[in-house]
Structure 1
Amino acid sequence: MGGEIFEYAGATVEIIDANTALAAARVNPVELVHAAQWPLPVQRVEVTVSSVDNPVGAVHVFIARIHAGAEEMTTDRMRKLVLGRDPIGALLSKRIAEGDPVATRFVDGVGTAAAAAYKKLGFDKTANPAAHREPGVLADAGVGLQADVAREDDGDVVRLRAEVPRDEVTANHLRAFVTLTLQAVTELAGPEALHGRRYVFSREATPPPAPVTTQGVTLDMVGGLTAIVAELRQIAVSFRHPEAMARWGARRPQGILMYGPPGTGKTMLSRALANEIGADFREIRTPEILDKWLGGSERNIKQIFRDARRYRVPTLMLFDEFDSIVSYAGAGGDAASQALNAVAGIFKQEMNDLIEENPNVIVVATTNFPHRVDESLIRSGRFDVKLSVPKPDEASRAEIFRKMIEGLVAAHERGGFRMFADDLDLAALGVASTGMTGADIKEVLRRVQMTKAMQDARTGGLVEPISQEELIAEVRNLRGSV
């Protein structure tokens, strides 16, 4: 899970997994503020991102609603005023702190009467600060984001609204909108009001510690595939430096085919490449393309590439399980085979000039069954790089264990809690896990973590770190169950 931390007006601001939030907003509105303490008169802030289809095109809509009002004159507030204004206040405060019931009843009685008088005299009609905020515009010139500012009908809410074309929206737009929202808060509460506070913007109500997932994986985190990682690094460099490519008349790869047994990390490598480039990750699965209605599959694949030609930010398009989309092209005469043939034909045409039409896009296809894919589909010029991703050898398995364990330690070891014993023998783990893939090793660790969590739940935390013996036992258990 990716995160960005920055400061604004003395506050620490964290935006968690912005790209995923923006992707999710394509389907349903996403609420980004779940619990926060705001400076008075701001009572709460709501920030949502959604996606709508306008006549001029699809857009992401950012909306912030800042609820602000005069602080209510309660008995408790008047009590504090009474204690702070009168010379006897210090003495009464001391007596109340010592638990004196007479002093407490006296001050509360005065406070209740004063609050009632305050309201009766009309002093509680203090103008709402939000009502003074005139409609206007807040803008971030750096990303070209402009937010319209208006008051809602009841006058207690200041609303910011901004739109960005769906194909152009990036995490930078979300950060800019968050910053404009905080700017509006400081206009209401004062320039120093946010100092020392912390605000988290996230899809999750209670964001967990950063887990080890493929969402934020980098090439540095990939274990056991040294040659493949080196090849992908070179591709990332060619993508990030088009000026050097142009100077030498070089053409970076347009497409990459990764093939190999299940569980060897092909999808993970694709995500790592996207992160290395700094590209958005767009995964296309079979149901998005194949349609039971006549002509539907052809329309779907055309639309996917039509969208691809409009991307304005670096984007990696992953066709996972590629063989299930275009397998056995040219074989068979039934309706299903004809549909696959049609999809394969359109795919060929679209890939012929994609890089010239939009150099922001790179295509990756993965398959467990390369023999099912017609060779004309993956010829050079369409898929220039073909990478075999094998099962890891002994040294590679030890390296995978090392990197996965390091990731778990970084994500979960806090405040003296130790997850793994100090005497782990990674080389022995590499030997014991003969024949396993990276996915298998991840499952071994998941099972051991689950066992430890159940022990923790039963004993209240009296659990030893994960040992070498426990890991070896789980490796054997998994090998015996497959």
Structure 2
Amino acid sequence: MTDSGSTRPHSETFEHAGATVELVDAGTLLAAARVNPVDLLHQAAWPEPVHRVEVTVDGTGGAEHVFTARIVTLDSPAATRQRMRGIVLDIDPLGRLLARRIAAGDQVVTRIVDGVGMAAAVAYRSLGLEKPVDREPGLLADTDAGIEATVTYDAGVARLKSRIPRDAVGVAHLRAFVTLTLQAVADIAGPGSLTGRRYVVGRRAGTPATTGSVTLDMVGGLAGVVAELRQIAVSFRHPEAMARWGARRPQGLLMYGPPGTGKTMLSRALANEIGADFREIRTPEILDKYLGGSERNIKQIFRDARRYRTPTLMLFDEFDSIVSYAGAGGDAASQALNAVAGIFKQEMNDLIEENPNVIVVATTNFPHRVDESLIRSGRFDVKISVPKPDETSRAEIFRKMIRGLISAHETPGFRMFADDLDLTALGVASTGMTGADIKEVLRRVQLAKAMQDARGAAVTPISQEDLLTAVRALRGGS
């Protein structure tokens, strides 16, 4: 039994004001909006006098998702030309003569009439005689979804805006805002103006999420870990609740586990979930071959961190390589490592006291190499094991990665993946693999298909056998 359907973005279709609307992957859109504003309507045709509608959802502010729509109602050049042509042809009796010549296909007369009409349009505008008809501000609402949209009109542009608390926002709000936007269009263009039209609401194809834009919703196979990170994010997004109860949110997080399990990706996703800036500190930024250099670097990094005035996640990747426990050895290397670890402890204490806007995340593949006093509670309050995924988790990772590729790359007429995918079988076949391994499997198959395409060969969508072959090849070390 295949389950390829679950890899494709979920879509729902509904009707409003006579138009058919397809809403594609709404849940993922709302999650992606936490990182970057998402534009939702592309290449749509609208009834005159509306000739462009822009709908955006933006959740980057942290506390709210803001839905906005911009309906441009200024006349299009084609509509203006047609109206001005009518004015010219209304001149009696010359108009009737010109109209007959245009109907007979006389291109010279047509160009003359259109030129006169457009000159008249320019004159109208310059004299202030042709102005878009604006309306009084208003309010549209969908009581079932619990959403209201303020509507303002200015210079021929209607604007709708709704705000929904980030922790409460859902697909119903997105669907309702789209219907309110269509309602505003119908109010402008007239009854029945949307009948028979079709609109697709979703992310533009060909714009894949970058590594920096990953969200917790996009993480597959780590439900327990994701749940813990969500709790941390909630504490950062609601400082007023923390202050009311005198609670100190966790400012230190240690993630440990085998290589390739997604610790760095999870750190980025947490930063995006919080709405925080992401600052990655790599080993070469700290360790210095000159005496005292490493200590100075640590102090400078934390000195900068104490000045951050916006939420910031500082990631110390491969933490053990920076502050490995060297014991009480008397050699210079041991003394240097112990000095770095000691300064890190003090700087971490000072940061927690002075700047609650910063959360420090450390990741390591070898937690036993890190001094326990360094990662004790009070410095690193939360410690999360990120294990290799089990069979069910691997299937979920395949599902989310494939679904992301489909959203980013499939277009009308181009199908990237076949319908025979069996995610359960892929989960079984990839025993022992990590998320990084699964990503490499997909990369190899994508590259193979792209090379076939580049050589002009007939290329079929990526099939179950293509993926299984790549899994076997990677497990075999080829």
Q: TM-score, normalised by structure 1?
A: 0.59
2-side partners of 1:15 and 1:303: how far apart? 38
Q: Do 1:444 and 1:475's aligned partners in 2 also have CA atoms closer than 8 Å?
A: yes
Determine the structure 1 residue equivalent to 2:331: 333
Work out which of the residue numbers 350, 355, 365 in structure 2 matches 1:353: 350
1-side partners of 2:443 and 2:345: how far apart? 41
Q: Do 1:329 and 1:344's aligned partners in 2 also have CA atoms closer than 8 Å?
A: no
The one-letter code of the counterpart of 2:474 is: L
- Residue 445 (structure 2) pairs with residue 448 (structure 1): yes
Q: Do 1:212 and 1:408's aligned partners in 2 also have CA atoms closer than 8 Å?
A: no
Task: Note the C-alpha offset of 1:263.
Answer: 0.1
The one-letter code of the counterpart of 1:435 is: G
- Residue 457 (structure 2) pairs with residue 464 (structure 1): no
- Residue 4 (structure 2) pairs with residue 4 (structure 1): no
Determine the structure 1 residue equivalent to 2:112: none
1:306-345 alignment to 2 at 5 Å?
Answer: 306-330=303-327, 331-334=329-332, 336-345=333-342
Determine the structure 2 residue equivalent to 1:473: 469
The one-letter code of the counterpart of 2:463 is: S
After superposition, give the CA deviation of every residue in 1:379-423 in whole Å (9 maximum; x if it has no partner): 000000111111111111011001101111111011221111112
2-side partners of 1:256 and 1:318: how far apart? 10
Task: Note the C-alpha offset of 1:446.
Answer: 0.3
Q: 1:291 to 1:15 in 2, by over 3 A?
A: farther
RMSD of the alignment, in Å? 4.8
After superposition, give the CA deviation of every residue in 1:138-170 in whole Å (9 maximum; x if it has no partner): xxxxxxxxxxxxxxxxxxxxxxxxxxxxxxxxx
Task: Note the C-alpha offset of 1:252.
Answer: 1.2
- Residue 296 (structure 2) pairs with residue 263 (structure 1): no
Determine the structure 1 residue equivalent to 2:248: 251
Work out which of the residue numbers 286, 290, 297 in structure 2 matches 1:289: 286
Q: 1:295 to 1:389 in 2, by over 3 A?
A: same
Task: Note the C-alpha offset of 1:213.
Answer: 3.9
2-side partners of 1:332 and 1:413: how far apart? 61
Show structure 1 runs of 5+ residues with no match.
Answer: 20-189, 192-206
Q: 1:337 to 1:14 in 2, by over 3 A?
A: farther
Q: 1:13 to 1:337 in 2, by over 3 A?
A: farther
2-side partners of 1:237 and 1:15: how far apart? 20
- Residue 243 (structure 2) pairs with residue 210 (structure 1): no
Q: Do 1:3 and 1:14's aligned partners in 2 also have CA atoms closer than 8 Å?
A: no
Q: Do 2:205 and 2:409's aligned partners in 1 also have CA atoms closer than 8 Å?
A: no
Task: Note the C-alpha offset of 1:245.
Answer: 1.8
- Residue 238 (structure 2) pairs with residue 237 (structure 1): no
Determine the structure 2 residue equivalent to 1:226: 223
Query: What is the total number of aligned residue pairs between the two structures?
Result: 359
Determine the structure 1 residue equivalent to 2:392: 395
Q: Do 1:255 and 1:382's aligned partners in 2 also have CA atoms closer than 8 Å?
A: yes
- Aligned-residue sequence identity (percent) comes to 82
Determine the structure 2 residue equivalent to 1:79: none
Task: Note the C-alpha offset of 1:277.
Answer: 0.5
Show structure 2 runs of 5+ residues with no match.
Answer: 1-31, 41-51, 62-155, 158-203
Determine the structure 2 residue equivalent to 1:102: none
Q: Do 1:260 and 1:368's aligned partners in 2 also have CA atoms closer than 8 Å?
A: yes
Determine the structure 1 residue equivalent to 2:274: 277
The one-letter code of the counterpart of 1:308 is: A
Give the match's secondary structure for 1:481. coil
Q: TM-score, normalised by structure 2?
A: 0.60
Q: Do 1:448 and 1:474's aligned partners in 2 also have CA atoms closer than 8 Å?
A: yes
1:367-378 alignment to 2 at 5 Å?
Answer: 367-378=364-375
1:147-166 alignment to 2 at 5 Å?
Answer: none
1:29-40 alignment to 2 at 5 Å?
Answer: none
Task: Note the C-alpha offset of 1:14.
Answer: 9.7
2-side partners of 1:254 and 1:468: how far apart? 44
Work out which of the residue numbers 416, 428, 432 in structure 2 matches 1:431: 428
Q: Do 2:205 and 2:411's aligned partners in 1 also have CA atoms closer than 8 Å?
A: no
The one-letter code of the counterpart of 1:411 is: A
Task: Note the C-alpha offset of 1:215.
Answer: 1.3
- Residue 415 (structure 2) pairs with residue 418 (structure 1): yes
Determine the structure 1 residue equivalent to 2:14: none
Structure 1 stretch displaced more, 364-373 or 415-424: 415-424
Q: Do 2:216 and 2:226's aligned partners in 1 also have CA atoms closer than 8 Å?
A: yes
> Greater RCO between the two (CA within 8 Å, min separation 6)?
2
Q: Do 1:289 and 1:325's aligned partners in 2 also have CA atoms closer than 8 Å?
A: yes
Q: Do 2:205 and 2:407's aligned partners in 1 also have CA atoms closer than 8 Å?
A: no
After superposition, give the CA deviation of every residue in 1:181-206 in whole Å (9 maximum; x if it has no partner): xxxxxxxxx99xxxxxxxxxxxxxxx
Give the match's secondary structure for 1:470. helix
1-side partners of 2:56 and 2:303: how far apart? 35
Q: Do 1:5 and 1:12's aligned partners in 2 also have CA atoms closer than 8 Å?
A: no
Work out which of the residue numbers 367, 371, 381 in structure 2 matches 1:384: 381
Determine the structure 2 residue equivalent to 1:366: 363
